[in-house]
Structure 1
Amino acid sequence: MNFKTFIILSLVLTVLASSGCSGFYSEGAQKESTDFSLNSSPVKYASVNGVELGYREFGSGEPLLLIMGFGGTMDMWNATFVECLAQDYRVISYDNRGIGYSSDNEEPYSTELMAGDAAGLLDALEIPQAHVLGTSMGASIAQEMAINHPEKVDKLILSSAAYSVSVPETFLLENLLRSCAVNSDLDPAVRKQADANLKWNGTYEHLPEIRSKTLLLVGTDDEFTPPSITLEIAEKLPEADYIVFEGAKH
């Protein structure tokens, strides 16, 4: 495990463990196996909001939902990171609608819809509440989930987060999304994700409604969601800590 991954893992486990969850990290979480693979868990499917969401589960314990970022699949998570989390938690990763193993329908995408998918997946798995970790677009989905489905979210971890893609600080991200939205060479679902991000109204005014204990992670060299955005989010949240990683990108 590289040092950055270890530090992030430690911080994540710290915030999850801070009110009655398992300890800082287990003895097993300090060891790397040579045979763990994200493919070691079979893909399962859940019917949610008119689509079939593909998901995988690892480990046991309190549930922890991982929400992937723009254009990414659940098989893109760091395997060592997932393995270590699974030492103490029931880790659930999934593909957003239309991506990877998940199906699509004719419904236009929105960040709120994808947050509903995340909450619906927990319902399908009969999980009343879970810790939620979202990265990049996944952090936007996680915010909407915490605002619109607060009963489903325990601890909240937001990596490379933004409260909007239409503010001056995120102009590079907005330009990237605009380019992707009209690129006919891209997967249609990726283009729909880009369009959903561009139409997203953001969460800035609603951030004080998030009552979950929250950890925000960002790098000093994150050109798409710079640290200033993370600091603004942290200031608006009732219970938030943040960590800025020197030299880290998006």
Structure 2
Amino acid sequence: MTEHDQQATTVIARTPDGTALACQHRGQGPPLVLLAGQANDHHWWDGVREDFHGLRSTITLDPRGTGDSDKPEGPYSTVQFADDVVAVLDALGVPRADVYGTSMGGRVAQWLAIRHPGRVRRLVLGCTSPGGPHAVERDTAVRKLLARPDPEAVRRALADLMYSPEWRAAHPGPYRTLGDPRMPAHARRAHLVASNEHDAWNDLPRITAPTLVLHGDQDRLTPPDNLGLLAGRIPGARSRLFAGARHAYFEECRPEAADLVRGFLAEEE
């Protein structure tokens, strides 16, 4: 158990299909939901969640298939993951929250804002895409790197896709964004399929929450052209590119990114 977990209240939420979801509520103040990337549990946010305390309490969860949550057979979908977040909010007695989703968590956050607009006050989408035929997909070389049979080689490739060499030299890890090692194979596959099949393009104009879209300009895992696609599709959305950052811009550009998000969340309605 990490220091972050020791300071958090852990609750088990139940989804309508009976899946148990572990969620963690930490700090005081209006709630901010933090949604992690594909095949990751709540530890994805360990390095930065305290940046929001003092302004917000933070809510994380272990998505189905990860961490201390149930790991049912698939299929999973980003729509289902969004409905799971609603079950977590209900279990915590939170009627409305700010939502910050990164990578696949950003795909989930899109559906949360689309399907449950009354539950989302402000929306931040990081290093993510609209999915479907309109999205800009990663190149073939990246796909080949991530499809290698050697798990350690894949972890090294992921670390390089997440962080620049300069940042890794100054921050040797361990990194929290390389996947939950406790995931069974069926859940890992189900997460991959859910992320690959995401397509919210037609519904993005239905988002009513004020929205901020963030991305690193050197991101090869989810190419940065997706930032413009999302920002152009969501009414009134603002955006920011972080120079020199790869997929995990929220860690590599932590002070600037955190300041930007805090300022956005603090704006008056």
TM-score normalised by structure 2 residue count: 0.71
Which residue is 2:115 aligned to? 148
Which residue is 1:38 aligned to? 4
Which residue is 1:216 aligned to? 213
Check 1:161–1:179 CA distance in 2 against 1; reply closer, same or farther (3 A cut).
same
Of structures 1 and 2, the one scoring higher in RCO (CA 8 A, sep 6+) is 2
User: Could you say what secondary structure the match of 2:20 adopts?
Assistant: strand
Letter in 2 for 1:150: P
Deviations 1:186-226 (A, max 9, x none): 632111110112233x1111111101111111011011222
Shift of 1:107: 4.6
Say yes or no: does 1:60 pair with 2:28: yes
Which residue is 1:197 aligned to? 195
User: Could you say what secondary structure the match of 1:43 adopts?
Assistant: strand
Deviations 1:20-50 (A, max 9, x none): xxxxxxxxxxxxxxxx932222533111232
Which residue is 1:92 aligned to? 59
Which residue is 2:39 aligned to? 71
Query: Does structure 2 conserve the Cα–Cα contact (< 8 Å) formed by 1:178 and 1:198?
Result: no
Say yes or no: does 1:232 pair with 2:263: no
Check 1:147–1:52 CA distance in 2 against 1; reply closer, same or farther (3 A cut).
same
Shift of 1:140: 0.1
Check 1:178–1:186 CA distance in 2 against 1; reply closer, same or farther (3 A cut).
farther
User: Could you say what secondary structure the match of 1:169 adopts?
Assistant: coil
Specify every segment of 5 or more residues in structure 2 that has no aligned partner in the other structure, as ranges.
Answer: 152-182, 248-269
| Residue-pair matches, total | 210
| Mapped partners of 1:103, 1:225: distance in 2 | 28
| Mapped partners of 2:60, 2:209: distance in 1 | 20
Check 1:177–1:209 CA distance in 2 against 1; reply closer, same or farther (3 A cut).
farther
Identity score, percent: 32
User: Could you say what secondary structure the match of 2:43 adopts?
Assistant: helix
| Mapped partners of 2:201, 2:12: distance in 1 | 33
Query: Which of these residues, 225, 241, 250, is aligned with residue 238 of structure 2?
Result: 241
User: Could you say what secondary structure the match of 2:196 adopts?
Assistant: helix
| Mapped partners of 1:176, 1:196: distance in 2 | 19
Check 1:69–1:178 CA distance in 2 against 1; reply closer, same or farther (3 A cut).
same
| Mapped partners of 1:176, 1:62: distance in 2 | 43
| Mapped partners of 1:176, 1:65: distance in 2 | 33
Check 1:133–1:171 CA distance in 2 against 1; reply closer, same or farther (3 A cut).
same
User: Could you say what secondary structure the match of 2:57 adopts?
Assistant: strand
Check 1:54–1:242 CA distance in 2 against 1; reply closer, same or farther (3 A cut).
same
Note the aligned Cα RMSD (angstroms).
2.5
Letter in 1 for 2:104: M
Which residue is 1:83 aligned to? 50
